[in-house]
Amino acid sequence: MRIAVIGAGGTGGFFGGLLARAGENVTFLARGATLEAIRAHGLTVKSRLVGEFTVRAGATDDPGDVGPVDLVLFCVKAYDTRPAAEMIGPLIHSETAILSVQNGIDNAERIAETLGRSAALVAIALVSSAIESPGVVAHVAGGRIVLGDLRDGRDPRLQRFHEIFERAGIGTEIREDIRAALWEKFVVICGLSGMTTLTRLPLGPILADPESSAMLKGTMAEVECVAHAEGVPIAVGYADRASERMAAWEPRMYGSMYHDLAEGRRLELDTLNGTVVRLGRTRGIATPCNAAIFAALRPYASGRPTLPQPQPD
């Protein structure tokens, strides 16, 4: 299968690397130092779960060099969704599937609006991985993917993708209630990314402290309340059960937004906690935990802020 991976970061690099290792025809659309590193040395994945390996896959910054593909793994940051969608026309033919593998709850719709075609396929990445250095992805935990179709029914192509991902060692599930699954991940990532970014600490120390642990749980519970107000059929008490499961997770785990903060990059803050605050205000639901995270991180939303220079006496 011809596959283009848009965004060779932690998520795109990990899943694209596994697919390339399994023999699929994968090309990475990347930029800058990452592009040069993949061209020169290949893409390397470091993981104690799937091993350390390097693949020599194609890499370019020009979709015109690739031509039409069967599957686009759309893995860019949510704030880059529209500009990335505008550039991928050369990859698309009538049967091309565009699979949004992103944080947030409305990226597939924005891809469809931009391209003027159906882009209702969604993949929920249940993985903790990040860029260690250009062309090198460090995988910490997880590695599953959940597939679905936002329209009524199930797209028949999903079963083929399921088989391809499974052959590559990617645990895969197809869910018909993919909107609920999106919000289930949204509950978790708003808490995990929000709190690990706010505290600059991994999950373990947050759970070990009663006050920070309570705020993590409160953040997730607020997202569940907003989901119910939006008519999303996630189970009552999902946030409580998800927070209990976190005790068994890798204690060194950070949310993806933390890595962006640490590197001085733009944050997906508006996509995550900011969306909860906005929807909560619209629905008349108080979201104090998400609002605190949103307010505290806002100065970093566009990247590392410039500090005022000392004034001469």
Query: Which two tokens mark 85?
Result: 């969608």
The fraction of the chain above a pLDDT of 70, given in percent, is: 98
Instruction: Using alpha carbons, list the distances in angstroms from residue 165 to 13, 209, 293.
Output: 14, 38, 35
CA 250 to chain CA centroid, Å, is 18
| Crossing angle (nearest 10°) for helices 288-297 and 178-199 | 60
Can you list the residues of the chain whose pLDDT is less than 50? none
pLDDT of the residue at 118:
59
pLDDT of the residue at 98:
92
Contact 139, 129 (CB under 8 A): yes
Q: How far apart are CA 275 and CA 277, in angstroms?
A: 5
Q: How far apart are CA 91 and CA 72, in angstroms?
A: 8
Task: Give residue-wise pLDDT tens across range 28-80.
Answer: 999 999 999 999 999 999 999 999 999 999 999 999 999 999 999 999 999 99
Host H or E run for residue 140: strand 136-149
Host H or E run for residue 217: helix 210-229
Domain ranges for the chain: 2-176, 180-300
Q: How far apart are CA 290 and CA 223, in angstroms?
A: 8
pLDDT of the residue at 121:
86
pLDDT of the residue at 174:
94
Q: How far apart are CA 279 and CA 287, in angstroms?
A: 9
pLDDT of the residue at 312:
79
- What's 2-176's CATH class? alpha beta
**Domain 180-300 part of CATH 1.10.300.10:** no
Residue 29, classed as helix, strand or coil, is strand
